[in-house]
Chain A
Amino acid sequence: DAGVTQSPTHLIKTRGQQVTLRCSPKSGHDTVSWYQQALGQGPQFIFQYYEEEERQRGNFPDRFSGHQFPNYSSELNVNALLLGDSALYLCASSLAQGGSPLHFGNGTRLTVT
């Protein structure tokens, strides 16, 4: 049973560029959430997708956008990259009902130079 898979594992971008990160959820899960984790910190909620719509959003600027496809996979897009966007980006999948445990992928390490 495949868990949550993310690609790529590592990425280096230049300030001002745009990046797209991809996520395939755990089999049977229909909800995908994205988190940003800075070094030494807990993950911070970016947004959540359910039924191909953004259901909830954290305190992140509009430069962060996403998409969910009919097969439940998801993309995270970040425009106009800043040095401060360097972090581990985690995708998590779950069932739709509140309180269901989230299962995380191993993340994409983004470095902005």
Chain B
Amino acid sequence: EDQVTQSPEALRLQEGESSSLNCSYTVSGLRGLFWYRQDPGKGPEFLFTLYSAGEEKEKERLKATLTKKESFLHITAPKPEDSATYLCAVVFSGGYNKLIFGAGTRLAVHP
């Protein structure tokens, strides 16, 4: 069964304390892996798409990487405004654009 697992479920960081979020997946024929940020009461906001193992994408303090079994979202020197839930999702071959989501990691960054 196609599955996406994110860890940890929740993460508390001090401002400036770098860390990584994990997304592991079991799908047949990965077509793409997506990272989204979701603020309370809002819809997910698109961050990155990764298509093949070894690929990396960066945006401000965030960097996403992809291997054959998992993806990492690295957060460098986070600020309180980075607090949100980070969602990982995959699309597999034959799935058109059907996203399979993980449950997310709730990140809280304290000053």
Contact = CB atoms under 8 A, between A and B. Distances in A.
Interface of A: 4, 31, 33, 35, 40-45, 48, 50, 55-56, 58, 90, 92, 94, 96, 98-107, 109
A56 B44 contact: no
Interface stretch (B13-21, B61-69, B88-96): B88-96
B98 A99 contact: no
A31 B99 CA distance: 13
7 contacts: A31-B97, A43-B87, A43-B101, A55-B96, A99-B91, A100-B97, A102-B99
Contact of A56 (B31, B42, B95, B104): B95
B104 A42 contact: yes
A101 B102 contact: no
A31 B45 CA distance: 18
B103 interface: yes
B54 interface: no
A56 B31 CA distance: 16
A102 B34 contact: yes
A42 B103 contact: yes
Given A90-B44, A99-B32, A42 B101 contact: yes
Q: Which one of B41, B51, B89, B96 has the highest number of Cβ atoms from chain A below 10 Å of its Cβ? A: B96
A74 to B, nearest CB: 14
A44 B41 CA distance: 17
Given A42-B87, A98-B31, A99-B32, A56 B98 contact: yes
A107 B49 CA distance: 22
Given A4-B43, A42-B87, A102 B102 contact: no
B43 to A, nearest CB: 4
Q: Which 4 A-B pairs have the closest CB atoms?
A: A42-B101, A104-B43, A99-B32, A106-B43
Given A48-B97, A56-B96, A99 B49 contact: yes
Contact of B46 (A31, A35, A103, A106): A103
B100 interface: yes
